[in-house]
Amino acid sequence: MTHCPARGSKQVPHAGEGFTMPFGLSLGQTLPEQDERALATKHNAALAHMLPLWGPLFGATVVLFTLWDFWIMPARIALTAPLRLALVLIGSIAYRQWRLPWTPVHRAGFIYATHASGMVAGAALLPNGLLIGLAAITATLFLVSLVALRLSTFVLIVLPSTLLLIVLGLGTMSPYGLINTIVLYLFAAGIAAAMMAVLVAFRRQAFLFEKQLLHSARHDSLSGAANRGYLNEAGAREVALARRHKRPLALAMIDIDHFKRVNDIYGHVAGDNVIRELANVCRHNLREGDLFGRFGGEEFVCVMPETEADQAFACVERIRRSIEALRLDTGRGPLQFTISTGIAVLGPGRDQWESLLQEADDALYQAKGGGRNRTQVAGAQPHDQAAP
């Protein structure tokens, strides 16, 4: 496995553009694919928590419409009540996950299809029931606005009850009444779909704000690398996973040589540029699944899962040589800097995050003691390392 292949600069995908309303919300805007998946996952999780309450409340409402049936035509309640109850009971299997291989959206769609069909079928058994009950039937469309994230999903969810409404309307209503019912129903469906689009736009905007805040909380503002708090949290998790699955993992601690001298001679602005350039070089050479963070001051840490010592050494050496070849323009002349690195790999005596960090730190001090601008692997003799 080639650990750190040369890569060009990444292009950050841009969200698709939509219609921007006066208050800055874009309708029809889409996020990059990865963010859309993350938003859908978050929406599914929220929906999964909501369904055990949303489903029974919807079901109870459908069953309580039996009282409306009794008010319209008491003689028909023997037909409408069992029909409504049967469809609610069928839909109730989706109130909880059980062992159904459905996503929360699938479950919500099944609940809506059965429960809304119960309302339509029950109303169709009453004289002018579909026309009289149209307001309640169309009101349920707005529940779908809370469930669907896409127009196609919205259409699929409402399609069964809509077709049932049309079919039963053909058999129980006059042509004028049927046309009037369909027009009003489609008008309400259009409003519900527009409401869904607005809610989705708000969700996407909130997702982006939350993502930005989370990134700011987890990353160093100067270098863009993970900050120490998040580095410790994510690093400990990676070590635990590697230990549990018996997979290799390497950790490299990088320190800028004579960084105080850089600040003293070239100024703190140049020192900041040095940190940024180091972070850029590391990100360019590390894999997407690697973890890179600023441990403090001029020290950085790279966590490399699925990586043996020789692979980590080759990757870090590539970073070291790239840094050595850099020339930064400053107001006080060109600036060249170097780094020293210590590497530790997961193994006996260093199977925890803290012990792995300590081993890498000890190896780093060996590299500095050996002349700086070099890489030292913990447990190896200094003369085994590549000379600068």
Query: Minimal CA–CA distance to 321: which of 375, 266, 240?
Result: 375
Residue 386 falls inside a structural domain: no
Both structure tokens of 47: 């929906």
pLDDT for the residue numbered 379: 81
Q: Give the mean pLDDT of the chain.
A: 89
Both structure tokens of 249: 């993992």
Residues 161, 286 within the same domain? no
What is the spatial distance between Cα 40 and Cα 107, in angstroms, rounded to a whole number?
A: 15
Both structure tokens of 213: 């805040």
Q: What is the pLDDT of residues 184-195, one digit of tens each?
A: 999 999 999 999
Asked if pLDDT for residue 23 goes beyond 70, the answer is no
Average pLDDT on 17-38 reads 66
How do beta strands 291-296 and 299-305 pair?
antiparallel
Q: What is the pLDDT of residues 300-319, one digit of tens each?
A: 999 999 999 999 999 999 99
Residue 223 falls inside a structural domain: no
Residue 388 falls inside a structural domain: no
What is the spatial distance between Cα 269 and Cα 279, in angstroms, rounded to a whole number?
A: 16
Average pLDDT on 169-190 reads 94
Q: Averaging pLDDT over each range in 21-25, 26-30, 210-214, 281-285, which range is the top one? A: 281-285
Residues 172, 258 within the same domain? no
Residue 143 falls inside a structural domain: yes
Name the DSSP letter for residue 125. Answer: T
Name the DSSP letter for residue 94. Answer: G
Residues 64, 181 within the same domain? yes
pLDDT band at 384 (very low <50, low <70, confident <90, very high): very low
Give the residue numbers spanning the domain of 319. Answer: 228-379
Average pLDDT on 346-375 reads 93
Query: Minimal CA–CA distance to 291: which of 308, 276, 307, 277?
Result: 307
User: Using an 8 Å Cβ cutoff, are 138 and 186 in contact?
Assistant: no
**CATH (domain of 253):** 3.30.70.270
Helices (H), the chain: 33-72, 77-91, 104-124, 129-132, 134-139, 141-145, 151-172, 175-218, 228-244, 259-266, 268-285, 309-324, 353-369
Boundary residue ending a domain (217, 244, 259): 217
Residues 123, 245 within the same domain? no
The number of folded domains in the chain is 2
Residue 7 falls inside a structural domain: no
User: Percentage of the chain surpassing pLDDT 70?
Assistant: 91
pLDDT for the residue numbered 101: 86
pLDDT band at 51 (very low <50, low <70, confident <90, very high): very high
Both structure tokens of 56: 């029974």
Q: What is the pLDDT of residues 231-272, one digit of tens each?
A: 999 999 999 999 999 999 999 999 999 999 999 999 999 999
Both structure tokens of 210: 């939350």
pLDDT for the residue numbered 382: 63
Boundary residue ending a domain (157, 189, 217): 217
Tell me which of 29 and 89 has the higher pLDDT. 89
Tell me which of 124 and 17 has the higher pLDDT. 124
Residue 47 falls inside a structural domain: yes
User: Using an 8 Å Cβ cutoff, are 333 and 288 in contact?
Assistant: no
Residues 168, 309 within the same domain? no
pLDDT band at 27 (very low <50, low <70, confident <90, very high): low
Residues 240, 166 within the same domain? no
pLDDT band at 2 (very low <50, low <70, confident <90, very high): very low
What is the spatial distance between Cα 126 and Cα 360, in angstroms, rounded to a whole number?
A: 79
Query: Minimal CA–CA distance to 241: which of 346, 358, 349?
Result: 346
Q: What is the pLDDT of residues 118-131, one digit of tens each?
A: 999 999 999 989 99
Residue 1 falls inside a structural domain: no
pLDDT for the residue numbered 33: 87
Residue 29 falls inside a structural domain: yes
Query: Minimal CA–CA distance to 350: which of 235, 260, 254, 272?
Result: 235
Residues 38, 185 within the same domain? yes
pLDDT for the residue numbered 22: 40
Boundary residue ending a domain (217, 251, 269): 217
Residues 69, 186 within the same domain? yes
Residues 180, 31 within the same domain? yes
Residues 123, 178 within the same domain? yes
pLDDT band at 5 (very low <50, low <70, confident <90, very high): very low
Residues 199, 249 within the same domain? no
Q: What is the pLDDT of residues 55-68, one digit of tens each?
A: 999 999 999 988 98
Residues in contact with 326: Cβ distance below 8 Å, sequence separation at least 6, in sequence order: 277, 281, 336, 337
pLDDT for the residue numbered 28: 65
pLDDT for the residue numbered 15: 46
User: Where do we find the tokens 């995908």?
Assistant: 13
Main-chain dihedrals φ then ψ at residue 23, nearest 5 degrees? -90, 15
Q: Is the entire prediction scored with pTM above 0.95? A: no
Residues 191, 166 within the same domain? yes
